[in-house]
Amino acid sequence: MLGRLNHVAIAVPDIAVASAMYRETLGATVTTPQMLPEHGVTVVFIELGNTKVELLEPLGEASPIAAFLAKNPAGGLHHVCYEVDDIIAARDRLKTSGARILGDGEPKIGAHGKPVLFLHPKDFQGTLVELEQT
């Protein structure tokens, strides 16, 4: 069911500062910030040869990232994203196995313009998991 690791997401309090650190200190290629109101975040991606790192900044006080940063003011690892060929088949298989899908259980369009779902961290050893259809 799982494909490759698509990205690792890091919540940050200031996406401009974090982007500059990756770009200037590590010499990374950083994408332009993208606002995703449906997910309550602004994102950038750090392009790597084999995957990406996503930096997430809250888009308003109601953002789930705002709650994460309230507990982790300096930021930190937020989730990992794996690719799947068929997100509906993956969701149905996971639900049958007892895994919890966050939200209403229906895929939303993510930062790459593809359907995504999030899985409850308590079902995956404390790690929030995002699935993205390839």
**Confidence at residue 115, expressed as pLDDT on a 0 to 100 scale:** 98
- The mean per-residue pLDDT over the stretch 97-126 comes to 96
Q: Which of 54, 57, 83, 130 is catalytic?
A: 130
Long-range contacts of 32-38 (CB under 8 A, 24+ apart): 34/111, 35/59, 36/110, 36/111, 38/108, 38/109
Amino acid at the residue 118: F
- The mean per-residue pLDDT over the stretch 59-64 comes to 92
List the domain range (segments joined by +) for residue 61. 2-133
**Confidence at residue 83, expressed as pLDDT on a 0 to 100 scale:** 98
What CATH number is attached to the domain comprising 61?
A: 3.10.180.10
Domains: count for the chain: 1
Annotation says 106 is catalytic: no
- The mean per-residue pLDDT over the stretch 9-26 comes to 97
**Rg of the chain over CA atoms, in angstroms?**
15
Look-up of token digits 């994102």: 43
Is pTM beyond 0.85 here?
yes
111 near 45, Cβ under 8 Å?
A: yes
At residue 98 the predicted structure's pLDDT band, cuts being 50, 70 and 90, is very high
Using alpha carbons, select from 71, 107, 101 the residue that is nearest to residue 88: 107
Alpha carbon distance 27, 118 (integer Å): 31
**Confidence at residue 11, expressed as pLDDT on a 0 to 100 scale:** 98
**Confidence at residue 108, expressed as pLDDT on a 0 to 100 scale:** 96
